[in-house]
Amino acid sequence: MSTFNKSPNVLFPVRVARAQRVSPGFMRITFAAPELKFLPSRSLDQRIKILFPKTPHLPQSLAEPILPESQWRKQWRELDPDIRPHLRTYTIAQSRPKVAEVDIDFFLHDQ
């Protein structure tokens, strides 16, 4: 089995718990989900992937409660580009596994 097939990265839904302007050009978004309690509290260059749907909801093939990376990536690639969610990588600013939260800082474009 390849390393990719054994990847601990899974797809799961989160909710926005808080949003805070941390500077004129950055917004800190706090995401919450029960699955975040399994995220390590701190590691160097800790990154996550975020899917941004083009419609109000994710396509049905990606809407399963928890999908392993080998499965969700394959399903994501097979989607019609018109409905395929945007996939972006972000560095975690802070994770708090005890309360199942993570902070991501977003640069604000075109202010």
111 residues of the chain, pLDDT tens digit each: 444 456 667 888 899 999 999 999 999 999 999 999 988 776 677 888 899 999 888 888 888 777 888 888 999 999 999 999 999 999 999 999 999 999 999 999 876
Alpha-helical runs (H) found in 1-111: 69-78
Non-local CB neighbours of 20 within 8 Å, separated by 6+ positions: 27, 28, 30
pLDDT of residue 3: 47
How high is the pLDDT of residue 21? 96
Whether residue 97 contacts residue 36, with contact meaning beta carbons closer than 8 Å, is answered with yes
